[in-house]
């Protein structure tokens, strides 16, 4: 299975910043997967697709943000 989380809002405080957003994806047969998304200026971001294996077809992957680190460009 290939998953690609979608960011829906970064908030006004990130409009002039670049941010690294670390998130965990639950549902993989081997445990939680940790990934990082990269946001620029609150308007664009890059998230890589993640391949994972689930124990069965009823497992629904879920992504949860675990950390956000922002800086001025």
pLDDT for residue 66: 93
pLDDT for residue 18: 87
More confident site: 45 or 27? 27
- Cα 24 from Cα 33, distance rounded (Å): 5
* pLDDT score of 36 more than 90: yes
pLDDT for residue 24: 94
More confident site: 54 or 72? 54
Residue-averaged pLDDT of the chain: 84
pLDDT for residue 52: 92
Three-class SS of the chain: CEECCCCCCCCHHHCCCEEEEEEEEECCCCCCEEEEEEEECCCEEECCCEECCCCCCCCCCEEEEEEEEEECC
């Amino acid at each position: 299975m290939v998953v690609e989380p979608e960011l829906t809002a970064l908030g006004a405080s990130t409009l002039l910043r670049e941010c690294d957003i670390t998130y965990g994806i639950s549902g993989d047969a081997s445990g939680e997967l940790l990934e990082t998304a990269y946001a620029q200026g609150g308007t664009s971001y890059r998230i890589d697709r993640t391949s994972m294996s689930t124990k069965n077809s009823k497992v629904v992957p879920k992504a949860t943000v675990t950390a956000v680190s922002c800086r001025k460009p």
